[in-house]
Amino acid sequence: MAGSSSSGPSSGGTSRGGKVKVKSARRQTPSSTRWLSRHLNDPYVAAAKAQGYRARSAFKLKELDEKFGILKGAKAVIDLGAAPGGWSQIVREVNPNSKIVGIDLLAIEPMAGVTFLQHDFLDPDIQMKLSEILGSRADVVLSDMAANTVGHKQTDHLRTMGLCEVALQFAETVLKIDGIFVAKVFAGGADPELLKRMKQLFKTVKHAKPAASRKESSEWYVVAKGFRGYEDVQIA
């Protein structure tokens, strides 16, 4: 708003040749200025806004789906760590008739055709809720979850891999036979033990880094297809 002032981050930006140049605001660190500049000049951020996607991450799932056929024919899909809803949007776009459940600890703005649950997906009660909503096991479990980074590469890697591990354990209890599991991992892919577990549970396990994933980011995705079976039957 004109005439307002703030001590927080501000773009303070000027545009030259289509590129936004960011000026450092008072109390704004150099790293936050660089992040803001990168964000404002990110073509995927602009494309997400132009196409009505809630986040640039929507393009990551879009690319993974085009490469691996993740969503084709899926009738029941679970999106873990769904906020703000970009991946659920892509599922809805590809399969408008599928049943989609997004789960996150954060509140998510409602979306037509998608059920959002503000819940911990590790809570045992979630199994009953999913059974009621989906009416069957899931064809696909998606996880774009990543732990909040602390700036220490090894620690950040271990924390995100821990989320991938619990997401896999969750997928084991809800996937249909031949179901698909997709999750974020870090550079180098899934840890050996986790990768071994995936290869036991699924017919194929592959890694990919979508073009929409920033080059400087160490994130990759693991795509496991052809779920062989489950140990604990918890959803009818």
The catalytic site residues sit at 184
CA dist 132 and 12 (Å) reads 49
CA dist 179 and 14 (Å) reads 48
Residue 184's closest CA among 213, 164, 158, 205? 164
Please, are residues 83 and 132 in contact by the beta-carbon 8 Å criterion?
no
Burial class (CB in 10 A: 0-12, 13-18, 19+), 214: middle
End-to-end alpha carbon distance in the chain: 54
Whether omega before 30 lies within 30 degrees of 0, making that bond cis, reads: no
Residues composing the chain = 236
Alpha carbon 215 to chain centroid distance? 17
CA dist 202 and 177 (Å) reads 9
Q: How far from 89 is each of 93, 112, 206, CA to CA, in Å?
A: 6, 9, 24
Helix (H) or strand (E) holding 32: helix 30-40
List 185's β-bridge partners, or say none.
220
Please, are residues 156 and 149 in contact by the beta-carbon 8 Å criterion?
yes
